[in-house]
Amino acid sequence: MSDVKFLIFDIETVGDGDLIQKIRFPEQVLTPREAVNRYRQQLLDETGKDVLPLTFVLPVSVAIAKVAADYRLLELTVLDSPAFRPQEIVRRFWQGWQHYQRPTLVTFNGRGYDMPVMEVSAFRFGLSIPAWFNVDSRAFEQSRNRYNHDAHLDLQDLLTNFGSFRMHGGLNLLANLIDKPGKAGIDGSQVQDLYHAGHVDRINDYCRCDVLDTYFVFLRSRVLLGKLTLQEELTLTEMTRDLLSEQAENHPAYEHYLKTWDFRGQQKMDVMQSIGVPIVEKMTEDRSTVVAADPA
């Protein structure tokens, strides 16, 4: 039996210039890059945003956190490094899900973006995944049923009660609510330009950090559901921080993540001190954590 119970993942995508040229600008002679740029400008003019529809993109990064049944982070990896070929990324994603005996997929806004991208990409590349497209099963057992949290847990759906309100601020807001780094340095709007500049490695570093934020939001959601205590969450957080520190020398993204984490913590402490909130140190194993003192 696999030790992996959850696969927490995030994807980054770029426009498929060949497809965009064929579908959006069939009468014009454009290079793939020109087609992407023209479509982005058209969208910007029409909607105020240059975000490409998911049907016109390819994944160039999938970062995955392998998480045990006791919620320990076992490993964080990116697929098909250093080549980052879309077809191979998609193949390895679905192959890995099967290999680890179909663990729960965990995302933030994955039902609306990440999962459809990976599904459409599987269709494009001719992959067979009947265990995911199990349409002959009873409705509540189907993997793609939005309420089947054993197959796919979208944290945005969970926290907004399936869209009852809009989570303004998204993953970045939730990460900051629990004093984790959130967005720092790169955001999704820069991915296409980074790709054109040949910085696919930086895109994958950014994707790793998004997965870390998603993991920590997932842990807090377990507290919310009564599956973890706050102390257990803190212990898991410290274990993860130690793991990142051990691997930071080989992964600059982790070093940046940890520095941002420390900066956020210092910011919080400065604010608390400025408004006169008493500060105490709470010891967890060999590390101390700054928290507000309980009111008398």
For 281, counting Cβ atoms within 10 Å of its Cβ (0-12 exposed, 13-18 middle, 19+ buried), the class is: exposed
pLDDT band at 291 (very low <50, low <70, confident <90, very high): low
pLDDT > 90 fraction of the chain, expressed in percent and rounded:
84
Q: Which CATH superfamily is domain 4-274 in?
A: Ribonuclease H-like superfamily/Ribonuclease H (3.30.420.10)
For 262, counting Cβ atoms within 10 Å of its Cβ (0-12 exposed, 13-18 middle, 19+ buried), the class is: exposed
Instruction: Give the pLDDT of residue 14.
Output: 97
pLDDT band at 283 (very low <50, low <70, confident <90, very high): very low
Domain residue limits, the chain: 4-274
For the cut 50, the answer to whether the pLDDT of residue 285 exceeds it is no
> Taking the complete model, does pTM exceed 0.95, yes or no?
no
**How do residues 108-127 score in pLDDT, each as one tens digit?**
999 999 999 999 999 999 99
Which position has the token pair 């793991």?
243
Instruction: Give the pLDDT of residue 292.
Output: 54
Pairing of strands 57-68, 279-284: unpaired
Select the more confidently predicted residue: 277 or 104: 104
Q: At 209, phi and psi to the nearest 5?
A: -65, -35
**How do residues 177-197 score in pLDDT, each as one tens digit?**
999 999 877 777 889 999 999
Instruction: Give the pLDDT of residue 183.
Output: 86
Mean pLDDT across 31-55: 96
